[in-house]
């Protein structure tokens, strides 16, 4: 997979630069847990950590947070392609958001997606209309992470051109629709409605998380990170003012004693 930018959008994950250690660890954990399922002595561990109906039936609530980090799929080379795609988009998302917001995005989107999926499965099971033999398969492990990273990348770099399937140039903004289309095709094959709605939730949450920085993004994900941090700090200040009764003073004293606008330094925006 390769890209070019129509508006000189920085694409860290598809270019040069150091690979974040967090991303190496994430890829390693996914591959190791994927491998563990094929050995009888270790298969229980990934089975307990994946998202299953036991999350709401037996109170295995930890599965809502652990399932994104458990590699999923059959013994096929396809896992390597999925991890490669995860690496490409994950590297750019990490470079743009930074470590704190990267993991906050992963946990927020994946946990909310799991809650929606578990709720849908619970309602469907209680109503007797859940016909999927393998619920949540569409959103397990690396699949939910790929959905999150592609949605984040596409939101911040709408006009970056990606060579889809290495041959077809498509603007990144269309990739959110494409991944939902792929998930829908998977739903038609598996009848995994909870997994499909979980993917849709993850894409929507990722879009809103990146957009929450506000304003137009001229610098890709890195600019979005700065905008998001300003937005977050402003929210904290607003809460502090309400809680402690802080009062913002507008202006500074002039020679005649009147007040005016605050003089801003070169690092104040």
Strand boundaries in 125-250, DSSP class E: 160-164, 168-171
Task: State the number of CA atoms in the 13 A half-sphere of 122 facing the CB.
Answer: 12
The pLDDT score that the predictor gives to residue 156 is 85
The pLDDT score that the predictor gives to residue 135 is 87
d(CA 204, CA 168): 25
Q: Which residue has the higher pLDDT, 38 or 95?
A: 38
Left (φ > 0), alpha (ψ -120 to 50) or beta: where does 44 sit?
alpha
Neighbouring CB atoms inside 10 A of 81's CB total 11
Kindly state the percentage of the chain with pLDDT values over 90: 45
Phi, psi of 261 (to 5 degrees): -70, 150
d(CA 26, CA 21): 9
For residue 67, is pLDDT > 90? yes
Q: What is the fold, at CATH topology level, of the domain defined by 3-226? A: Rhomboid-like fold (1.20.1540)
For residue 160, is pLDDT > 70? yes
When pLDDT is cut at 50, 70 and 90, the band that residue 32 belongs to is very high
When pLDDT is cut at 50, 70 and 90, the band that residue 5 belongs to is very low
d(CA 208, CA 199): 14
For residue 86, is pLDDT > 50? yes
d(CA 23, CA 31): 12
For residue 145, is pLDDT > 80? yes
199 and 180 Cβ atoms separated by less than 8 Å: yes
The pLDDT of 73-85, averaged and rounded, is 91
209 and 105 Cβ atoms separated by less than 8 Å: yes
pLDDT tens-digit readout, 202-243: 999 999 999 875 333 445 556 666 667 777 787 778 777 776
For residue 244, is pLDDT > 80? no
The pLDDT score that the predictor gives to residue 4 is 41
For residue 22, is pLDDT > 70? yes
Question: What size, in residues, is the chain?
Answer: 269
The pLDDT of 26-53, averaged and rounded, is 95
**Averaged pLDDT score across all residues of the chain:** 80
Tokens 């095709």 map to which residue? 185
pLDDT tens-digit readout, 172-208: 778 888 889 999 999 998 889 999 999 999 999 999 9
- Give the pair of three-digit tokens for residue 28: 């390693």
């Amino acid at each position: 997979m390769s890209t070019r930018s129509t508006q000189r959008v920085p694409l860290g994950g598809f270019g040069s630069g150091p690979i974040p250690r967090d991303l190496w660890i994430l890829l390693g954990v996914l591959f190791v847990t994927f491998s563990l399922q094929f050995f009888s002595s270790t298969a229980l561990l990934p089975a307990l950590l994946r998202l299953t109906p036991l999350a709401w039936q037996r109170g295995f609530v930890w599965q809502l947070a652990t399932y994104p980090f458990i590699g999923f799929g059959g013994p096929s080379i396809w896992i390597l392609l999925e991890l490669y795609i995860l690496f490409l988009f994950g590297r750019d998302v990490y470079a743009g958001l930074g470590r704190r917001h990267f993991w906050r995005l992963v946990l927020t989107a994946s946990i909310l997606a799991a809650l929606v999926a578990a709720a849908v499965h619970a309602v469907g099971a209680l109503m007797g209309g859940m016909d999927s033999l393998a619920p949540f398969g569409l959103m397990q492990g690396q699949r939910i992470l790929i959905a999150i990273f592609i949605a984040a990348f596409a939101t911040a770099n709408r006009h970056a051109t990606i060579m889809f399937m290495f041959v077809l140039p498509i603007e990144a903004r269309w990739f959110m629709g494409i991944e939902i289309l792929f998930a829908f095709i998977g739903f038609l094959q598996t009848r995994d409605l909870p997994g499909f709605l979980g993917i849709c939730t993850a894409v929507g949450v990722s879009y809103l998380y990146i957009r929450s920085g506000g304003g137009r993004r001229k610098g890709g994900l890195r600019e979005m990170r700065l905008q998001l941090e300003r937005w977050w700090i402003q929210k904290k200040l607003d809460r502090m003012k309400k809680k402690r009764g802080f009062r913002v003073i507008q202006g500074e004293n002039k020679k005649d004693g009147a007040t005016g606008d605050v003089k801003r330094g070169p690092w104040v925006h």
